[in-house]
A and B are shown apart, each in its own frame.
Chain A
Amino acid sequence: MDVIDQIFVLATRWILEFAGRFLPPLLVVLLSILISITAIALFAPLTMMYLTWLERKIVGRIQNRYGPNRVGKYGLLQPIADGIKMLTKEDIVPHGADRTVHFLAPIAVVVPSLLLFAVLPFGRGMIAADLDVGLLFFIAISSLGTLAIFMGGWGSRNKFSLLGAMRAIAQMVSYEVPLVLSVVTAIMISGSLSTRAIVEAQQGWWYFFTPWGLVGFVIFFISAVSEVNRTPFDIPEGESEIVAGFHTEYSGMKFALFYMAEFLNAFAFSALGATLFLGGWLGSLLPSWAWFGLKTFVLIFIMIWFRGTFPRLRVDQLMGYAWKFLLPMSLVNILAAGLWHYLPTWAAWPATMALLAAAFIALSNAHPTGEPLVKRTYPLVD
């Protein structure tokens, strides 16, 4: 059991011991870093490729069709075929584009998404860089994607791209606030910024099964879906309004890189959600990395499910939701986590539940969702 649980850790150790026989110690240290990097660099594109397959299959099922099923059994070779197609496509750069910025944007968007994987605890002892400030690192790096998207949209010199980029920045800045505030609760209770320590603090009782944990997780997940630009928050690339938003002017492999970043971010945020609130790799019977993968894929499935069911939000609805509902709710949630920490268990449950329920009811009544329907006038048309 332990062997299966630690199989990747043991494999790494074995390789390092083997290399240590005829390599100087400095090179062994470099090799250990290289192994982690290679593992992530192999794992990430593979995950991305099969996430596209998974998404097409699930959305296909939701829409009552089969999804890809021509290339390979169950369409399993479809991502490879798509990859080859992307690589052989012509790379078009618009005439008026800012060539340097246009070229750098796809790189700048993928690198942060890969860096995110460094602090994710994939299993017991399976973390590439166990930083003291792992969670802060994740948040800081994930905010870089916004800049890359702006570079892409601005560098293309296309009004749809620019509109998409502006929407992306406004949206990501807004949703980052509730995202970070919902994460704060997990930090408060576990007393650590390290992702490994947060998982270990959930031994016995996942944060998801506490009032503040549930609320925090829901806020985190909604904000995360928005941060990675997925439906129903995909207005930066809303195809019915602004063609493809910030990546309108990208073709071939550069386009694929934007896509890759989106899927990698979706994976990374699901993994972080599982780590912070669902106990990460904790669980019985199955090996730790299997538990981690399982929880992450449940969250990814929910994201795809969202995509298959929800219509896209309007810009004003999107902003109003973040600032008028999610933000106050996450602030109240921090208060609830504080109460949870200081009150004895018998008092903590009813107190936090009452506080959160009252806040939820007050906030949803303060901003009624059903706006009165007003007949819209379009003076230029009439």
Chain B
Amino acid sequence: MVLFLLLAAITAAGALGSILLRNLVHCILSLILFFFGVACLYILLQAEFIAVVQVLIYVGAVATLALFAIMLTRQVTGMELKQQLGQNRWIALGVGVAVLSVLIGAVTKQTFPAVAAQGRVSAEDLGRTLVTAYAVPFEIASVLLTAAMIGAIVVAMEQQHKTADRQRNTEHRTPNTEQ
């Protein structure tokens, strides 16, 4: 119980930090703390597989991707990279309220204390259910992810062509020694 409270506090602190901190890199670092806290909570629930996958995907991939995004901007080094509410604040508010209402609906439906599943679910059971009972949702998710990836590549390729054209048209003073 003490452990749970401690972890929950760390997780909540991470989540709050990721929205309240001003420096964008600090935000990402505290987001990572939050992801970690969630992974630890999964371990407390004896779901090791989910916990490890949480670290692998959210910390290893999503957070790194966010860092990549920062590194691709112009003010990589600067402290001036601030998190601020832009013109999207109403959309953000709408999405936030929608997610919150779904979550509240889910929580209120559940009667507490919830009945725990009997025994631990091993990675093998999880894999088996994914390719038998839940094969269709699993495949749909894969197709969706593949489509998103291909889409991203296509978008990036178009931009690359455009910038290459622009570079050819306007004489650049800085030479590209990489090519």
Contact = CB atoms under 8 A, between A and B. Distances in A.
A159 interface: yes
B29 A101 contact: yes
A316 B178 contact: yes
A210 interface: no
A113 to B, nearest CB: 15
B49 A141 contact: no
Contact of A132 (B67, B77, B122): B122
B29 A132 contact: no
A147 B64 contact: yes
A12 interface: no
Given A193-B123, A378-B177, A173 B49 contact: no
Interface string A168-200: 010001001000000000000000010000000
A137 interface: yes
Interface stretch (A150-158, A227-235, A279-287, A341-349): A150-158
Interface string B11-47: 0000000000001011001001000000000000000
A316 B178 CA distance: 8
Given A101-B25, A133-B123, A140 B178 contact: no
A98 B78 CA distance: 11
B60 A140 contact: yes
A140 B54 CA distance: 9
Contacts of A136: 49, 52-53, 56, 123
B29 A151 contact: yes
A144 B77 contact: no
A140 B35 CA distance: 13
Interface string A127-148: 0000111001101110110110
B76 interface: yes
A137 B177 contact: no
B55 interface: yes
A334 to B, nearest CB: 16
A304 interface: no
Contacts of B90: none
A166 to B, nearest CB: 5
Nearest to A173: B64
B71 interface: yes
Nearest to A316: B178
Contact of A376 (B23, B56, B122, B177): B177
A132 B64 contact: no
Given A101-B25, A154-B25, A162-B76, A146 B56 contact: no
B175 A147 contact: no
Contacts of A376: 177
B8 interface: no
A169 B77 contact: no
A143 B60 contact: yes
Contact of B55 (A98, A140, A193): A140
Contacts of A169: 64, 67-68, 71
B76 to A, nearest CB: 6
B59 A147 contact: yes
A132 B59 contact: no
Given A147-B32, A193-B123, A157 B49 contact: no
Contact of B63 (A98, A140, A147, A193): A147
Contact of A133 (B26, B48, B68, B71): B48
A204 interface: no
Given A132-B49, A378-B177, A143 B77 contact: no
Contacts of B25: 98, 101, 154
Contact of A141 (B23, B55, B64, B123): B55
A368 interface: no
B49 A378 contact: no
Nearest to A194: B123
A92 interface: no
A62 B155 CA distance: 50
26 contacts: A98-B23, A98-B79, A101-B29, A132-B49, A132-B123, A133-B49, A133-B52, A136-B56, A137-B52, A140-B56, A140-B60, A143-B60, A143-B64, A144-B59, A146-B60, A146-B64, A147-B59, A147-B63, A150-B67, A151-B29, A157-B77, A159-B77, A169-B68, A176-B60, A377-B175, A378-B177
Top 8 nearest A-B pairs (CB, nearest first) are: A143-B60, A140-B56, A140-B55, A379-B175, A136-B52, A140-B52, A133-B52, A133-B49
